[in-house]
Amino acid sequence: MPRQAALKAARTLDPAPSEDEAERITLRLREKGTKKVHEYEGWAWKDSAPEVDDADDDFWLNDLNDITKANVSKQGIEYIDEA
């Protein structure tokens, strides 16, 4: 799925302190087996880790103070001509 791939790529960007301050980067991803290139605008930011109610659930979150979140906005699809 192109959107999920774009979100994964956006999470690797250098995160800003907040979503409002995040720098927006153009992500171009080619869909495997097609001639489509999906173009997204992506950004990442730091956010506080969610509270864990039960110590047994999501134990790996207990040691995190903040996490990286990301978002993308689709800009369009480009069709490449392989001649």
Structure tokens of 50? 């969610």
70/31 Cα distance (integer angstroms): 21
Domain count of the fold of the chain: 1
75/28 Cα distance (integer angstroms): 10
Tell me the residue range of the domain where 14 lies: 2-79
pTM for the predicted model, two decimal places? 0.79
- Residue 44: φ, ψ to 5°: -135, 150
The reported pLDDT for the residue numbered 66 is 84
Q: What are the pLDDT tens digits along the chain (83 aa)?
A: 899 999 999 999 999 999 999 999 999 999 999 999 999 999 999 998 777 666 556 566 666 778 899 999 999 999 998 75
